[in-house]
Amino acid sequence: MRSRLEGLDLRGRHIQGRLGARFLYLSWGDVDDSGRFAMFRRAKLMLDAVDPDVLAAAVRAGELVGRLGLTDARGQPLCAAVRPPVISWSAVTVGRGTSG
Nearest CA to 68 among 29, 31, 26? Answer: 26
Q: What pLDDT, on a 0 to 100 scale, did the predictor assign at position 5?
A: 44
Whether residue 98 is contained in a domain is answered as no
Domain residues for the domain of 53 are 2-93
Say whether pLDDT at 60 is over 80.
yes
Say whether pLDDT at 79 is over 70.
yes
- Encode pLDDT of 10-52 as tens digits: 889 999 999 889 999 999 999 999 999 999 999 999 999 999 9
Average pLDDT across the chain, whole number = 89
Instruction: Determine the 3-state secondary structure of 9 from DSSP.
Output: strand
Say whether pLDDT at 6 is over 70.
no
Name residues whose C-beta falls within 8 Å of residue 76's C-beta, 6 or more positions apart in sequence.
none
Report the domain count for the chain: 1
